[in-house]
Amino acid sequence: MRKNGYEYALVEPPMSEESALRAAKKFAKISEVKRAVSRHYALPPGALEATSRQREWAHPRQIAIYLCRVHTEASYPMIGMYFGSRHHTTAMFAYRKVASFVQRDEIWASEMKTIATKIAQEIDARPPIPRWSASPEPLDEDMVVAN
């Protein structure tokens, strides 16, 4: 590009390794994480959004919030909204609590890996995104009219 008598080259800044990995990574949807956690713990639909504080429902909810933070790009307020309109600090507490258990306990870490594989299966089960091309599809030979 030329401007004021000088030649300028348009150069993209190099992509860092972290941003390259982030761009290549497939992120899960919150609904996929919730579905995987609900299936893993055999919970009925809507159990993760319930207001119940019973351990059999609160424990999987906290795990789902942790996995949402790890496997999605969702913020704490968005995650809280998807889990029964909870405050973002509730989501932060759940993430920190489960993260500390995962760091200290091998059983928790292996359980998170098991659920993460189920999330990966949910991602792989997505229907393919239709790809639109700029060029029209080729015509069948029978449809071509001779001049």
Q: Where are the domains of the chain?
A: 26-123
Q: Tell me what the mean pLDDT of segment 3-16 comes to.
A: 60
Do residues 40 and 118 touch, judged by C-beta distance below 8 A? yes
How far is it, in rounded angstroms, from Cα 92 to Cα 11? 40
Q: Tell me what the mean pLDDT of segment 19-40 comes to.
A: 77
Indicate if the pLDDT at residue 144 is higher than 60. no
Q: Tell me what the mean pLDDT of segment 11-29 comes to.
A: 58
Q: Tell me what the mean pLDDT of segment 73-96 comes to.
A: 93
pLDDT of residue 52: 84
pLDDT of residue 28: 85
Q: Tell me what the mean pLDDT of segment 70-98 comes to.
A: 93
| Full DSSP string of 59-126 | HHHHHHHHHHHHHS---HHHHHHHTTS--HHHHHHHHHHHHHHHHH-HHHHHHHHHHHHHHHHHHHTS
Q: Which residue has the higher pLDDT, 57 or 20?
A: 57
The CATH classification number of 26-123 equals 1.10.1750.10
